[in-house]
Amino acid sequence: MTKATAYTAREANASGYIEYPDNEHQIWQRLFERQIENLPGRACQEYMAGLDALALSKERIPQLNEIDQVLMQTTGWQTAPVPALISFGKFFELLASQKFPVATFIRSEQEFDYLQEPDIFHEIFGHCPLLTNQAFANFSQKYGQLGLAASKEDRVFLARLYWFTVEFGLLRNQFSAQEPSKLQIYGGGILSSPGETLYCMGTQPDIREFNIVDVLRTPYRIDIMQPVYYAIDSVDYLDEIASMDIMAAVSQAKSLGLFQPLFDHQAS
| DSSP string for 85-137 | S--HHHHHHHHHTTEEEEE-----GGGSS--SS--HIIIIIIIGGGGGSHHHH
- pTM equals 0.94
Are 233 and 172 in contact, with CB atoms under 8 Å apart?
yes
Percent of the chain with pLDDT over 90: 87
Q: Which fold has domain 22-256?
A: Phenylalanine Hydroxylase (1.10.800)
What number of other Cβ atoms are within 10 A of residue 89's Cβ? Answer: 14
Residue 96: C-alpha distances to residues 21, 138, 141 (Å): 33, 10, 5
Q: Mind listing the pLDDT tens digit for each residue in 143-186?
A: 999 999 999 999 999 999 999 999 999 999 755 555 667 899 99
Task: List, as residue ranges, the binding site for Fe cation.
Answer: 122, 127, 167
CA–chain centroid gap for 169, Å, is 8
Phi, psi of 80 (to 5 degrees): -135, 115
3 vs 22, residue with greater confidence: 22
Task: Say if residue 267's pLDDT is above 70.
Answer: no
**In whole numbers, what is the pLDDT of the chain averaged over residues?**
94
- Answer yes or no: is pLDDT of 2 > 70: no
What are the binding residues? 122, 127, 167
Q: Whole-angstrom Cα distance, residue 217 to residue 212?
A: 9
**For the chain, which residues make up each domain, given as ranges?**
22-256
Provide the pLDDT for residue 1. 43
